[in-house]
Amino acid sequence: MGLRLPGSTGPQRRLRSHGAMVPIVLAVLILPVACSEPTPDAPSGEVVLYTSMPDSVVNRLAGVIERRFPDLDGNFWMSLGSGISLRILRGRTGDIERLISDEMEDGAIAADVIWLADPSPYETYKGMGLLAPYEPPPDSSIPADYIDSDGFYVAGRVISMVIAWDSRLRTEGPGDWPDLLEIDRSAFPGPESGAARATIRALIDRFGPEFFDTLATSGGVSVASNGAARDGLVGGDFEAVAVLDYMARQAKSDGASIDFVYPASGTVIIPSPIAILADAPNPSAAKEVVDFILSQPGQEIVVELGSFYPARMDVAPPQGAPPLDTIRAFDVDWKALTADSEPIGPLWADFFEQLPLSP
C-alpha cells in the first residue's frame, strides 16, 4: 500500500511517462477484501485517479485506514465492497493538465477521476466535453457554491493560501499580503500550482501587478510549489512565505517553528473539485469512489489525513482551524480565471525574470 511506482505499467491500463514534466508520483492503493462477499453486479476493478493532492496524504492512507476500521482488517473502503483498487497519479495541477493534454492527443485519457486544486481547469474540461455528469448523494450537505451549477464537478475539500513565517525570527509575522513586501527573504509559489495561480490572479486584481513586481525586487523569490515554500520556511531559507493553509497547519502541528495567518484583506477560498471523466474506463467503480470521498466518513478521513477543510457542512474542520465563514475571502470568478489563466505564466516570468523559476 502506498507503493511508489514511477513510470510503471498497470495490469489493465498503461499510464505514459512524460520526460519533460516534473516527475509525477504513481501510487497503488490496493483496497483489502471486505469480510462479506460482494454482490455479482458490484463495481470492481481499477480506478485511476489523477490528482494534485499531496504525496504525504497518499502515503499516510494505509495508517489511517488501519486506525479507523480495525474490525474490518483495515478496510476503510468498506462501502465499496471488495475488488476495487485505486491507482493514484500525483503531480502539480499544471503537470496533470499537460498530461491530460498529451493523452488527448494520443486519443484517450487513462484517468477515471481527477481531483485538482481549483475549479478553473474543470471549466475548460467541461467545455470540451471531457467530464461526466455527476450528482452528489442527496444527504451530502455540500453547499451549493461547492457544486458545479451544470452538474459536472463537486468540491472534495476546501483549501486556501496563508502567510506563514519563521517564529524563531519574529514573534509577530506579516498580517497581510503587502507586509510580505517588507520581508528580506520571502517566497511565493508559481502558477504551476492551481491554488497559487488563483491567488496570484486575485492579488493582481486587488493590489495591481506592482505587487509582484515589488515582491520580486525586494527579496521575494518564486518557488516551484507550495511544498517547496513550506520546506524552505521550515529549513530556514525564508523568513516568510505564501503557502497553502493545510501545509502550514501540518508543519506547525509536527513541531516546526512556524506560525501563520489568514491575511487580513482576504484570501481565495478554493473549493477543490473532484470529477469523473466522460470516457472513464471504469465509470461505475469511479462513481463509488467519488461517492465515498464525499460521504461523511470519507470527508472525516480527508480532514484527518490532510488537515483540509471538508466540503460537507456536517463534518468538523481541522482541530484548531477557524470556522471557514470567519475567514475573509476574495471574490473569484472561476470562469473568468479559466479564460485568463494562460497569460499568468508569462506574466509571472516577467515579474521574476531575474530569479528563474525552480525546476
pLDDT 10s digits, 276-306: 999 999 999 889 888 878 888 888 888 988 9
Residue range 309-316: mean pLDDT, rounded: 96
Asked if residue 133 has pLDDT above 70, the reply is yes
Which pTM does this prediction carry? 0.83
pLDDT 10s digits, 162-216: 999 999 998 889 999 999 999 999 999 998 888 998 999 999 999 998 999 999 9
pLDDT 10s digits, 317-331: 999 999 999 999 998
Percent of the chain with pLDDT over 90: 53
pLDDT 10s digits, 105-125: 998 999 999 999 999 899 999
pLDDT band at 336 (very low <50, low <70, confident <90, very high): confident
In this structure, are residues 153 and 117 in contact, taking their beta carbons and an 8 Å threshold? no
Contacts of 255 (CB under 8 A, 6+ apart): none
Distance CA 112, CA 92 (A): 18
Q: Regarding the domain with residue range 3-157+271-321, which homologous superfamily does it belong to in the CATH classification?
A: Periplasmic binding protein-like II (3.40.190.10)
DSSP 3-state of 99: helix
> Which range in 46-55, 229-238, 281-290 is most confidently predicted, on average pLDDT?
229-238
Domains in the chain: boundaries: 3-157+271-321, 161-268+329-351
pLDDT 10s digits, 60-72: 543 343 343 333 3
CA-closest candidate to residue 279, choices 85, 106, 150, 58? 106
CATH number of the domain located at residue range(s) 161-268+329-351 in this protein: 3.40.190.10
DSSP 234: H
In this structure, are residues 186 and 221 in contact, taking their beta carbons and an 8 Å threshold? yes
pLDDT band at 9 (very low <50, low <70, confident <90, very high): very low
Cross-strand partners of 329 = 267
pLDDT band at 312 (very low <50, low <70, confident <90, very high): very high
Q: 3-157+271-321 with 161-268+329-351: one CATH topology?
A: yes
Per-residue pLDDT at 352: 85
In this structure, are residues 85 and 45 in contact, taking their beta carbons and an 8 Å threshold? yes
β-pairing, 270-276 vs 113-115, is antiparallel
Distance CA 318, CA 303 (A): 6
CA-closest candidate to residue 245, choices 232, 234, 233, 230? 230
pLDDT 10s digits, 143-160: 999 999 999 999 999 999
Q: Within 13 Å and on the Cβ side, how many CA atoms surround 318?
A: 19
CA atoms 138, 284, 84, 14: torsion sign: negative
- Averaged pLDDT score across all residues of the chain: 81
